[in-house]
Structures are given as C-alpha cells and as structure tokens.
Amino acid sequence: MKLEKNKYKFGGADLVSLAEQFGTPLYVYDENTFVSQYKRLTNAFKGVNLKIKYACKALSNQAILKVFKKIGSGLDAVSIQEVQLGLKAGYAPEEILFTPNGVSFEEIKMGVDAGVVINIDNISILEHFGHEYGSKVPCCIRLNPHIMAGGHHHIQTGHIDSKFGISVHQLRHVERIIKTYNIQVTGLHVHTGSEILDSGVFLRAAELMFEAAQQFKDLLFIDFGSGFKVAYKENDVTTDIEELGAELSKRFKQFCKEYGRDLELWFEPGKFLVSEGGILLVKVNTVKQTMATVFAGVDSGQNHLIRPMFYDSYHHIVNISNPEGKPRIYTVVGYICETDTFGWDRKLSEVREGDVLAIMNAGAYGFTMSNNYNSRLRPAEVLIRDAKAELIRRRENLDDLLLTQVDIKI
C-alpha cells in the first residue's frame, strides 16, 4: 500500500474509492503481489527441479487458484473439498498434493479416485492404504521430524506432541508395512510449522529427510512444506528466502548425487505467497472514549479476521480516510459480542466515525477462516488486476444464512 497524492493505493487502485464502490467490510487482493512473491521464491532456488504447491487453505477463492495455476504453481490441498476446488479451477489431478489429517479412509479413497497425489501421515492409514491398493497407487509419506519451529504454538506442527505426521522414530515400522503390502512410496514430506526465521530449521529437517530417503528407492520428490515468516510490521524479521534457497539448493543437489538420481524439490507456501497481497477494509462505526481507552469500533470483527484473537497476531492498521490527521492512540475493536480486538493502543491519524481503516497482511487465513458468528454476513472479495478491481465474491445476504436451514413447523 502506497500513499500517493494524499490517497492510499494498493496495486494501483484507490482504496477509499474501492470501499465506496463495493462497501465495507471488504477484502482486497493484489495479483501483482502474489505473482511477485511466487517469482521471488522460484528465483531463490537455482539448479534444482523446484515445484511449488500453493497451500490453498490460506486463500481458496477460485480466482486466486486460477492466478497461481496460470503462473505455473501446483496445489496443496488438505481436504477433499479443496481437492475439488482445485480441479474446478483447472488443475490437473497430478498437480494436486492431498495432505489430509484425521480424516476417514473414505476421504482418502475419494482422493485416489480423483487421481491426486496422496500424502499419508498416519501409520494405521498407511496400512489400510497398502491393504486396499498395494503397489497400484503410489503415495507420499509425511514425517514428523520432532523439530520445534517458531511462531505461536498453534502453528507449530513438527514437535513431539503434534498430531501431524509419522514420527521419524517409527520408520522401522513404516518400512515393514511398505514391504508387507508392496506400497510404492514416491515422495517424502515434512512440515515443521509456520513463521520459521532460521534457515537452519529447514536444513536440520532436510538432513533427517535425506537420511530417511535412503530407505525409499522409488522417490520422485521431497516436499519441505513451508512456514516462511513474512513481515507483519515495519522492520519485522523475516525468513531470508535467498539465503535459504542458496543453502538448501546446494545441499539438495549433493543429496541427489548420493541418492543416485535427481529428485524434485517441493514447497507448499500459503502465507508467503498471499499474506502481503491482501488488505481488509473496514469502516469506523463508533469512536468511544472510556476512563482508560479510546476505542475505534468498526463494522467487522473476529468473524472476518480471527488471527489477532486466535494467534495473538499483529496486523498493521492505517486510517486511509485521513492521511494527514493528527496521530492519536486508539484500540481498534470489532462489532462481535465477544472480545474481538484487532489492535491495542495503535497510533493512527485521527479517527472519525465513517473513516475507512485498512488492516494489512490480511491475504492469508482471513476470509478462509471467516464465519457467521452472531449471524453476521461475510464480506465481498475483490482482486486488483492492472490497477482495476474485479469482484470475485459477492457480499453475503440473509438468504445465504438460511440457505441450508430446513424450515419446520413448531
């Protein structure tokens, strides 16, 4: 977002004008930012056969899936519904990695029937898979490396108490199942969590994966997940993608020589690709001063952006209606009948009722984690392409809330 001639613009479009045209609350996405992040990642890994699988749980609107399909990305899906969305968006089945967790075997079978790449993270499911398919259907295996990543404990997935993945200490058991059922394992997968700052975390996981890979002779790829840290505030510390790319590429090429042939190196980023390309626009309903705090109450809440309450996440907030206003301290809160604070004690240019605030870094896990709590409606989404905004999801109405309810006589 840039301030040009006293107007805040995003992707070349005037944000206040978008709020007036489409109403608030409103999710705004910039295609150029998505593409730029994708190119930055692909440029960081030189000399390896890199495959990107966009983690669509971050932002699953069909228009966004098509953007990534167009620039060459595959898809990472964690539910059969995401698989179906990917297929509808035009992805070939073999471009989709299906990594469910805690699902029934019936959902696994649906993935097999769809022809996507199946990623298994449970020994009992692996045994069931082998019994059902033997060597007829290849699969990937997700390992838990027991490495603690950074960030909130809700987004750490590679530690010893995590529900995700098969422990690296259970590999002997895995090998016996594979041998018994003649299972064809073509990929290994690891994901330690989100907001990883130190490339050393990836490299430690890589060494564990390389050691494990020697037990699997038919591998085509190794998937290192994602978890790259992006900036949520000014001067925020982030993952050095270029440093990671140089170090991991070098080590991966060395491993491929040891393994005996070149494999594909996969990543499945979500937040890294879309977080900074999204903004949530909200309108100020009330300015309320108490004995201790000045609240700016907006026409949105944790039902639209739950990350601040769920993860204690920081999202930078800007008053785009009053760029030259005198700075004052506000606590920005939502309209939900719960504590739903977007930001405590934020320095904003003077806030007036009717002003539009921009909540930054809302592209990842914003709309996809939204809900209808308090019977509130979910917002519209627009995509900026060539400085012009296109509506990619209309605003909900009351009929949408009632659509799946069955009217009975009481």
| Neighbouring-strand partners of residue 264 | 49, 221
Residue 20 CB: number of other CB atoms within 10 A? 11
Residue 148: pLDDT band (50, 70, 90) is low
Q: Given this model, what pLDDT does residue 192 score?
A: 72
pLDDT score of 329 more than 90: yes
Residue of 56, 139, 256, 337 with catalytic role? 337
Q: Note whether 27 and 367 are within 8 A (CB).
A: yes
Mean pLDDT of 155-169: 68
Q: Given this model, what pLDDT does residue 289 score?
A: 96
Q: Is the CATH number of domain 2-29+275-402 3.40.50.10090?
A: no
Q: Note whether 104 and 129 are within 8 A (CB).
A: no
Q: Given this model, what pLDDT does residue 231 score?
A: 84
56 labelled catalytic? no
Q: Give start-end residues of each CATH 3.20.20.10 domain in the chain.
A: 60-269
pLDDT score of 125 more than 70: yes
The Cβ-side half-sphere exposure at 313, using a 13 Å CA radius, reads 28
Topology at the third CATH level for domain 60-269: TIM Barrel (3.20.20)
3-state secondary structure the chain: CEEECCEEEECCEEHHHHHHHHCCCEEEEEHHHHHHHHHHHHHHCCCCEEEEEEECCCCCCHHHHHHHHHCCCEEEECCHHHHHHHHHCCCCHHHEEECCCCCCHHHHHHHHHHCCEEEECCHHHHHHHHHHHCCCCCEEEEEECCCCCCCCHHHECCCCCCCCCEEHHHHHHHHHHHHHHCCCEEEEEECCECCECCHHHHHHHHHHHHHHHCCCCCCCEEECCCCECCCCCCCCCCCCHHHHHHHHHHHHHHHHHHHCCCCEEEECCCHHHHHHHEEEEEEEEEEEECCCCEEEEECCCCCCCCHHHHCCCCCCEEECCCCCCCEEEEEEECCCCCCCEEEEEEEEECCCCCCEEEECCCCCCCHHHCCCHHHCCCCEEEEEECCEEEEEECCCCHHHHHCCCCCCCC
Closest CA to 312 of 198, 159, 202, 153: 153
- What's the pLDDT tens digit per position in 164-201? 889 989 999 999 999 999 999 999 999 876 566 666 77
Mean pLDDT of 12-29: 98
Q: What six digits make up the tokens of 356?
A: 């539009």
Q: Given this model, what pLDDT does residue 85 score?
A: 98
What percent of the chain lies above the pLDDT cut of 90? 86
Residue 43: pLDDT band (50, 70, 90) is very high
Q: Give start-end residues of each CATH 2.40.37.10 domain in the chain.
A: 2-29+275-402
pLDDT score of 126 more than 50: yes
Mean pLDDT of 83-105: 97
Cα–Cα distance, 240 to 230 (Å, whole number) = 10
- What's the pLDDT tens digit per position in 363-391? 999 999 999 999 999 999 999 999 999 99
Residue 157: pLDDT band (50, 70, 90) is very low
Mean pLDDT of 2-23: 97
- What's the pLDDT tens digit per position in 395-407? 999 999 999 999 9
Mean pLDDT of 147-162: 50
Q: Given this model, what pLDDT does residue 197 score?
A: 62
- What's the pLDDT tens digit per position in 229-259? 888 888 788 888 999 999 999 999 999 999 9
**Average per-residue pLDDT in the chain?**
93
pLDDT score of 290 more than 90: yes
What percent of the chain lies above the pLDDT cut of 70? 95
